[in-house]
């Protein structure tokens, strides 16, 4: 089994990534990075930050590492919250309220979730990188009890539901992270670990 250090402090993200990688050959064991290893996200794009996190964790530990960076980009807000999606408020409820307040009654409510994924070799060089997007709209009020973050206000017209209303299987298949990992999986088998 091949081992990848996940450049995150979020055990939920490790579990989610493991679900995407469960049927791969070779099998991957994902391990949470040590809590004391902090990486400052100084990139100007999601891909920059994913590569930065994967590279720095790989170098620090001398092991293969994987990182993702993701967020919500709202067209009427010039791409905000973007790279600052997780820091747009202290809680999910605060982040949602701030976004809805800033958007107000705007007719233009198109948005997209973006996810970038990078895998770094133990020397810090990037072995693989990809990204994925999921287009949608920002609803005027939260709907649904599933998911996390902005899921209750991210409406996907093709599904007729917010992320928070979707089954886990549907979200797994169409989400920005799902698209990014679908692109990544065929490349994983080519890595020489």
Of 23, 48, 68, 69, the active-site residue reads 69
Question: Catalytic: 131?
Answer: no
> Is the C-alpha dihedral spanning 46, 52, 53, 54 positive or negative?
positive
Active site residues: 69
């Amino acid at each position: 089994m091949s081992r990848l250090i996940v450049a995150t402090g979020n055990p939920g993200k490790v579990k989610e990534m493991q679900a995407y990688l469960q049927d791969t050959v070779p099998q991957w064991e994902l391990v949470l990075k040590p809590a004391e290893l902090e990486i400052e996200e100084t990139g100007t794009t999601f891909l920059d930050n994913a590569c930065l996190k994967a590279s720095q964790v790989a170098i620090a530990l001398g092991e293969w590492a994987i990182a993702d960076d993701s967020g919500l980009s709202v067209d009427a807000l010039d791409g905000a919250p973007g790279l600052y999606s997780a820091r747009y408020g202290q809680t999910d409820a605060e982040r949602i309220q701030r976004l809805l307040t800033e958007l107000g009654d705007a007719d233009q409510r198109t948005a997209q979730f973006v996810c970038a994924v990078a895998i770094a070799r133990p020397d810090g060089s990037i072995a693989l990188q990809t990204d994925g997007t999921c287009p949608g709209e920002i609803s005027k009020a939260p709907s649904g009890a599933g998911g996390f973050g902005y899921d209750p206000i991210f409406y996907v017209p093709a599904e007729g539901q917010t992320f928070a209303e979707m089954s886990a299987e549907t979200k797994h298949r169409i989400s920005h992270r799902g698209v990014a990992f679908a692109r990544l999986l065929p490349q994983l088998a080519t890595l020489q670990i």
